Structure 1
Amino acid sequence: MTGNSDTDTPAGLQSCSFLLPDTEEDELFIEDNSDYNSWLEAPTFSDIIENYTSKHPNASEADLIRAVLHYWEKDDFLD
């Protein structure tokens, strides 16, 4: 993640830029570089979205952000 480091609010998440490393080398570079902050791993993020949309197929972007923030804060899926 680059730019704004506010990952605790909906507005903060919407203003962040996220990077998905293509290789393990890219991942190590990002982890070792102070210009980047780590956040959720991509598979975890996908699981959060899939879990929520399976129960709420018409979920809005705001709903998905709320589900992600819930997981980030509580390490648990939002029902």
Structure 2
Amino acid sequence: MQISNEGILVILFVGLIAGWLAGQIVRGTGFGIIGDILVGIAGALVASYLFPKLGVHIGSGLVSEIIYSAIGAIVLLLIVRLVRTGGRL
């Protein structure tokens, strides 16, 4: 599998926007550019695992990928917060 330069830029862009959105919703602030990208990409991985198992399909295109990744990132951040605080949100 080979990813083009444009593909990498799209992945980074989607990760940045999704991570920033998740940070705004869960924490109230972002995590910085690198943190937002990492959270967004991790959220995309979480969503790509969970959504098919739940039978959820949002659609196709860049906007749906951002939404998909942001929801996954929110779930990921909430799980991390639960583990860190011992069960309190």
TM-score, normalized by the shorter chain, greater than 0.5: no
- The structure that is helix-richer by fraction is 2
TM-score (norm 2): 0.34
- The structure that is strand-richer by fraction is 1
TM-score (norm 1): 0.37
